[in-house]
Amino acid sequence: MTRKTSAGLIIGLVVAVLAGIVYFQVLHQRVLGWGESAASEEQAREEVVAPPIITQTDALTAAQFFWISPSDADKLEAVTLHLPLSADPELRSRQLIRELISSAPSPQQAPLPADTELLAFYMLPDGTGVADFSDSLASETPSGILSEEMAVDSIVRTLSANVQSLRRLKILIHGQAAETLAGHVDLTGFFEVPPQYPTAASH
Amino acid sequence: MLARWVRSELERNGYRVLMTRDGDQDPSFDDRSAIANAHRAAIFLSLHVGSTGVPGTVRTYVYPTVQEDATQDESLSGDEQAGRGLVEWDRAQQPFVEQSRKLGDLLQTEFSQRFAHSPELCMAYPIRDLRSVAAPAAAIEISSVAAPDEGMFAQMGPSLAAGIARAVAAFQPSGEPGTIR
């Protein structure tokens, strides 16, 4: 191999390496771009599937939400958020439950699975609220008495603290009466919703 | 494993123990209740391992009083109602709520002394497998499957069993039959 040929080969290799580096950076940027695009698509999908509930009577309110305490994994702790809430108890309950599911301070503090959807909420004249949740509530709540108890109590106590006319709550799963939440807590009855800050749910 | 420890300890104290399952079977809630309901003077204990909570703690649950109780004569005790054939299956636990509460508090008092950070008294909460039991009944949950130390349950077992045996003896000292699952 002549010196001229060797020099040409080395230059060719250097050019190939430089081209590879440039191409790698372009690919890297594209991958990052796809990730951002996927995230924004997911965000857009959620906005279509579960659009924010906005009513004419919305007023900025200091609302209490009950999530798992960061310092005590077997207790719920009140967190105050300021957000617009409807004066209508049915719509207000929907707004509260949606927020309870989606705005937990951290995944470890969420008593309800993130994929849970509130399919419907309606109130009867006697103060009975009926909350219909997607299957995720039953299939993704960790099985166990304490975890199921905290899931139900987070809903009951959040509604109790913020919805005056609600007296008791019935929980449905995908439109059907369910025997249990995830194998332990009995959903066949009603959960009493005391006017303020209950110490324990009754059935 | 925990249930076998409890069974052994109760039998050592003179109680007859019936297990509602002894392996991978999955009997229905009503099948389990039927075993307890077929025996007079039984106690029903349901053992669980939870997936949350502070590892190494133990909680006892009993079924709460259901307010809309129009079908039962509340002036009669659980045994009197059962004796007169008045117990409705789906509400079979209701006449025994007070006895269950007493049993639950005895159990939880033992657990709070044995396992740090466990509550001092039992909780009333609607646990499905207690609802149709026509006998004093309690569910016991140990936290948790997320325990970092796999040997934790083996360490807890003997003390848990001893606590249950002491509470049962305080509740029902005559050595009558009991049921655990």
For A120-167, the pLDDT digits (tens) are 999 999 999 999 999 999 999 998 999 999 999 999 999 999 999 999
Q: CA-to-CA distance for B81 and A39, rounded, in angstroms?
A: 61
Low-confidence ranges of chain B (pLDDT < 70): 68-87, 147-148, 150, 173-181
When CB atoms are compared, the residue of B54, B90, B125 closest to A149 is B125
Q: Is the pLDDT of residue A112 over 90?
A: yes
Confidence bin at A46 (pLDDT 50/70/90): low
Q: CA-to-CA distance for A82 and B67, rounded, in angstroms?
A: 36
Residues contacting A148, CB < 8 A, separation 6+: A141, A180, A181, A182, A183, A184, A185
**pLDDT on residue B75:** 53
Do A41 and A124 fall into the same domain?
no
Q: CA-to-CA distance for B84 and B62, rounded, in angstroms?
A: 24
**pTM, full prediction:** 0.79
- The dihedrals phi and psi of B147, each to the nearest 5 degrees, come to -60, 135
Q: Is the pLDDT of residue A28 over 70?
A: no
Helix axes B2-12 and B152-171, enclosed angle (nearest 10): 40
Specify whether the CB–CB gap between A96 and A156 falls below 8 A. Answer: no
Do A19 and A74 fall into the same domain?
no
Instruction: Give the residues across from B44 on adjacent strands.
Output: B137, B179
**pLDDT on residue A16:** 78
**pLDDT on residue A176:** 96
Q: CA-to-CA distance for B165 and B72, rounded, in angstroms?
A: 32
**pLDDT on residue A44:** 56
User: Which tokens is A33 given?
Assistant: 């771009």
Do A107 and A169 fall into the same domain?
yes
Do A70 and A144 fall into the same domain?
yes
When CB atoms are compared, the residue of B52, B124, B129 closest to A200 is B124
User: Which tokens is A35 given?
Assistant: 């990730």
Residues of A with Cβ-Cβ distance to B90 under 8 angstroms: 188
Do A163 and A112 fall into the same domain?
yes
B52 vs A73: CB contact, 8 Å cut-off? yes
Helix axes B97-114 and B152-171, enclosed angle (nearest 10): 140
Concatenating the DSSP letter of every residue in B108-155 gives HHHHHHHSTT--SS-EE--BHHHHT-SS-EEEEEE--TT-S-TTHHHH
- The dihedrals phi and psi of A122, each to the nearest 5 degrees, come to -140, 160
B128 vs A186: CB contact, 8 Å cut-off? yes
**pLDDT on residue B181:** 52
Do A2 and A70 fall into the same domain?
no
Inter-chain CB pairs, A–B, below 8 Å: 78
Residues contacting A79, CB < 8 A, separation 6+: A64, A65, A66, A67, A105
Q: What is the pairing mode between strands B137-142 and B44-49?
A: parallel
Q: What is the pairing mode between strands B178-180 and B44-49?
A: parallel
**pLDDT on residue B44:** 95
Domain annotation covers residue A202: no
Domain annotation covers residue A138: yes
**Which domains does chain B carry?**
2-65+76-180 (3.40.630.40)
Domains in chain A: how many in total?
A: 2
Q: CA-to-CA distance for B87 and B37, rounded, in angstroms?
A: 11
A186 vs B131: CB contact, 8 Å cut-off? yes
Do A159 and A81 fall into the same domain?
yes
Nearest Cα to B73, choosing from B86, B91, B85? B86
B126 vs A186: CB contact, 8 Å cut-off? yes
Q: What DSSP element (H or E) covers A119?
A: strand A118-123
- Enumerate chain A positions whose Cβ falls within 8 A of a Cβ in B: 72-74, 142-147, 149-150, 179-180, 183-186, 188-189, 192, 200-203
Do A23 and A79 fall into the same domain?
no
Per-residue burial over A34-58, b = 16 or more CB atoms within 10 Å of its CB, e = otherwise = eeeeeeeeeeeeeeeeeeebeeeeb
Residue A11 belongs to what domain range?
Answer: 1-49
- The mean predicted confidence, pLDDT, of chain A is 85
Which of A75, A140, A141, A145 to probe the B interface (max B CBs under 10 A)? A145
Do A156 and A96 fall into the same domain?
yes
Q: CA-to-CA distance for A126 and A128, rounded, in angstroms?
A: 6
